[in-house]
Chains A and B, each alone.
Chain A
């Protein structure tokens, strides 16, 4: 990479799905990835989408355009992974930004890893912000649970998968969304190979795989180590914990504090290792 070369950021955009109504929309994490890219100074942003443009997904794709980009490169009719690889290679990007997992289909979150493997680049997931871009490396912030953050330095080129805790994507405006272009890309080297591979992959598993609307997972019951019939009977017949809460009136402040701390420790939200 020459010294004067600007950072080129490929942003992978997919069609999302609203969690309540299942309507197509911009995928939340991908939009956050685009937001991160747009906030980088002196970076060329290359938005990529692999798939077909149709009535069902046009509005969703356009809502990325509404964030203020002039065009999305559309890589049509190929295996997603191969399409992405080619798209990224041809765009000469040195950073790939994407969401952690898709909102439709399997949504396994494997694609960024597979892409990184194919490109031979390192991957960092859980990205919340890009602090600094140097020649050949980037300083990142990674999300840890409970709002904690960790600083990482990664050598470029790299694939960066954005965490749901990253900054919320800007509003999508109607005007730019309508005017922006979705440009189909002609990629040179995919052709027949990809077709064969797609068939191969789908033959492998799709006949076994079934999708259903998500079932509500049963709440885990308290495990009762019932060694006798009597214990089992008692456990089965025991009145469920009263749904109404416990109300303590006229207790001393100390007792009240003890009750609170007891519950906090039970729920393990209180970390006693912390500073005083």
Chain B
């Protein structure tokens, strides 16, 4: 495909040139695309991670010997960039050989993987690290994990603390480790995701231990100011507090962009002095089985809601169980006795804030639509394409709900089975 790559001798092929000139020729587009692939590299990543360009190499030599630059991208640029990707690693490598100081990130690792919030926090850590040379971002991971992409997320150093105790709630032990790290490394910053029970809890424990007035609910850092200031949610998220950036930071999700264009070393790190075992004052007795259907509507993240149009309530309940969704209902379904009153969604029932709200057989009375105002995504299954719920929905499926729910159940079961076999 690219035998004339970097070949400066221009060999002319009159037939090709003729086809290139004749846009109506059946082979025109084929030849044109092929021709452009002969282009030499005009863009590459420099050693400092800065993009370098050779403007002379941009474009292609047109049929009458004149250089053409086609910005529409139909012909040349497309294939050129494809080639670029193939030629060089998409991410620059970010190496810190001899770190002078550290920024510590303690990730939640929900489900054993870096959560989106964890990645944002790592992004924030790198923004702070860029202020001083030779600063490494170190991630602390407690217990088992399944994450394979630490390098892409921006982990320069990894402190993996293993132990069965970390499978459960063990704040005292974790805190002991963090204080040991503090003694040994004295990091510039401690970053935690300000999430319910993970970083939100541990971060506050550490802040109190270190006697630092932590920044909580942080969502913006102003790096250009001196000293660096930050903006935190205060007074139950009704106010913004602008303050100086302390050493212990508990940040919200989307506080910074996650790392997207560099590859990091993920070098294992070990503490010289490990903390002593101590008797825990808090003992984890394990998870309590909670039926997703019984989760309160206000807490629910994913609601499967049924209305007047449902014929097969058993199927509805089964679907909720398989999907792990919390059950909701329209007023009519409650009035008709299919669902208890505390499951009613709407202005006259519960106002819900679920991320995904799936309405089955609900036509969407105004009161109901008011109650789901703050839901992110609405899926709707209904027989009537003209109803208000279809207008509100992000994904509307017109058809028989019994059949569609049965298909969903079947497909999800299959997917779960597959997953199980893979694992």
Report if A and B touch in the complex (beta carbons < 8 A): yes
A276 to B322, CA, bound (A): 6
Smallest Cβ-Cβ distance to A28: which chain B residue: B236
Task: Report chain A residues within 8 Å CB of B232.
Answer: 106, 108
Considering the chains assembled together, what is the distance between the CA atoms of A253 and B292 in angstroms?
25
Shortest C-beta distance, A240 to chain B (Å), equals: 14
Q: Which of B16-24, B131-139, B147-155, B402-410 contacts A (4 or more CB under 8 A)?
A: B402-410
| Interface segment, one of A48-56, A72-80, A267-275 | A267-275
Q: Tell me how far the C-beta of B332 lies from the nearest C-beta in chain A, rounded to whole angstroms.
A: 23
Q: What CA separation (Å) do A272 and B421 show in the bound complex?
A: 12
Q: Is the CB of A152 within 8 A of B243?
A: no
A19 touches B238 (CB 8 A): yes
**9 residue pairs from A and B, CB less than 8 Å apart:** A113-B207, A114-B208, A126-B196, A153-B285, A165-B299, A230-B71, A245-B394, A257-B407, A270-B324
Contact across chains for B216 and A109 when beta carbons are under 8 A apart: yes
Contacts of A154 in B (CB 8 A): 281-283
Q: Tell me, yes or no, whether B378 is within 8 Å of chain A by CB.
A: yes
B344 CB–A CB distance under 8 Å? no
Q: How many residues of A contact B (CB 8 A)?
A: 88
Interchain CB contact (< 8 A) of B284 among A116, A150, A247, A272: A150
Q: Is the CB of B204 within 8 A of A109?
A: yes
For A143, list chain B residues within 8 Å (CB).
196-197
| CA A263 to CA B357, docked complex, whole Å | 11
Q: Are A211 and B244 in contact, CB atoms less than 8 angstroms apart?
A: no
B217-234 interface code vs A (CB 8 A; 1 in, 0 out): 101000000000100111
CB-defined contacts of B168 to chain A, threshold 8 Å: 150
Could you say which residues of chain B place their CB within 8 Å of the CB of A102? 235-236
Q: Identify 12 new A-B residue pairs, CB closer than 8 A, beyond the known A101-B236, A210-B241, A274-B324.
A: A19-B236, A102-B235, A107-B234, A108-B232, A211-B234, A211-B240, A220-B254, A228-B43, A247-B385, A263-B379, A264-B356, A267-B302
Q: A205 to B208, alpha carbons, bound, how many Å?
A: 17
In the complex, per-residue mask of B123-167: 1 if CB is within 8 Å of any chain A CB, else 0: 000000000000000000000000000000000000000000000
State whether B415 touches A108 (Cβ < 8 A).
no
Q: B271 on the interface (CB 8 Å rule)?
A: no
Q: Which of A139, A214, A269 contacts B285 (CB 8 A)?
A: A139
Q: Decide if B48 is an interface residue (CB 8 Å cutoff).
A: no
Give A54-74 interface residues, CB cut-off 8 Å to B: none
| Residue B84 at the chain A interface, CB threshold 8 Å | yes
From A35-43, A90-98, A117-125, A191-199, the one touching the partner chain is A117-125
A215 at the B interface (CB under 8 A): yes
Find out whether the CB atom of A261 lies under 8 angstroms from the CB atom of B288. no
Is residue A238 within 8 Å, beta carbon to beta carbon, of the partner chain? Answer: no
Residues of B within 8 A of A142 (CB): 169, 197
What does the 1/0 interface line of B371-411 toward A look like (CB < 8 Å)?
00000111101000100001111111111100110111011
B416 adjacent to A274 (CB under 8 Å) = yes
- Asked if B208 and A117 sit within 8 Å, CB to CB, the answer is yes
If the complex has contacts A153-B283, A225-B260, A272-B415, are A263 and B395 also in contact, measured as CB distance less than 8 A? yes
**Would you call A175 an interface residue if the criterion is a C-beta within 8 Å of the partner chain's C-beta atoms?**
no
Q: Cα distance A228–B59 when bound, in Å?
A: 13
Q: Which residues of B contact A (CB under 8 A)?
A: 43, 51, 71-73, 77, 81, 84, 110-111, 168-169, 172, 196-197, 200-201, 204-205, 207-209, 213-214, 216-217, 219, 229, 232-244, 254, 257, 260-261, 281-288, 290, 292, 294-296, 299-302, 322-326, 355-356, 358, 376-379, 381, 385, 390-400, 403-404, 406-408, 410-413, 415-417, 419
Task: List, in ascending order, chain B residues with CB within 8 A of A209's CB.
Answer: 241-243
**CA A145 to CA B79, docked complex, whole Å:** 46
Closest to B392 in A: A245
A113 CA / B283 CA spacing, docked (Å): 18
Q: How far in angstroms is the closest Cβ of chain B from A160?
A: 11
Q: Is A2 interfacial (CB-CB < 8 Å)?
A: no
Rounded to whole angstroms, the CA-CA distance of A125 and B195 in the bound complex is 12
Provided the pairs A19-B238, A151-B288 are in contact, do residues A276 and B416 lie with their beta carbons within 8 angstroms?
Answer: yes
Give every chain B residue within 8 A of A147 (Cβ-Cβ): 290, 292, 294-296, 299-300, 326
**Interface status of A44 (Cβ within 8 A of chain B):** no
A187 within 8 Å of B (CB atoms): no
Chain B residues contacting A269 (CB-CB under 8 Å) are: 301-302, 325, 355-356
Which residues in A have their C-beta under 8 angstroms from that of B288? 141, 148-151
**Is A6 located at the chain interface by the 8 A CB criterion?**
no
Distance between B69 CB and nearest chain A CB, rounded to angstroms = 11
Q: How far does the Cβ of B105 sit from chain A's closest Cβ, in whole Å?
A: 20
Top 4 closest pairs, chain A to chain B, by CB: A147-B295, A257-B407, A269-B302, A151-B285
With both chains docked as a complex, state the minimum distance between the C-beta of A144 and any C-beta of chain B, in angstroms.
6
Docked-complex contact B197 and A125, CB < 8 angstroms: yes
Bound: A205/B196 CA distance, A = 26
In the complex, the answer to whether A253 meets B407 with C-beta atoms within 8 Å is yes
B201 CB to nearest A CB, Å: 5
The residue of chain A having its C-beta at the shortest distance from the C-beta of B207 within the complex is A110
A108 to B194, CA, bound (A): 10
Q: Are A152 and B290 in contact (CB under 8 A)?
A: no
In the bound complex, what is the Cα–Cα distance between A148 and B299 (angstroms)? 10
A178 within 8 A of B: no
Contacts of A123 in B (CB 8 A): 205
**Nearest-CB residue, chain A, relative to B297:** A147
Chain A window 218-255, contacts with chain B (Cβ cutoff 8 Å), 1 for yes, 0 for no: 00100101011111001000000000111111110110
Residues of chain B within 8 A of A151, CB atoms compared? 284-288
Contact of B216 among A110, A227, A264 (CB under 8 A): A110
Q: In angstroms, how far is the closest chain A Cβ from the Cβ of B179? A: 13
- Contact: B240 with A106, CB < 8 Å? no
Q: How far is the CA of A234 from the CA of B81 in the complex (A)?
A: 15
Given contacts A126-B201, A248-B396, A276-B417, contact A228 B239 (CB under 8 A): no
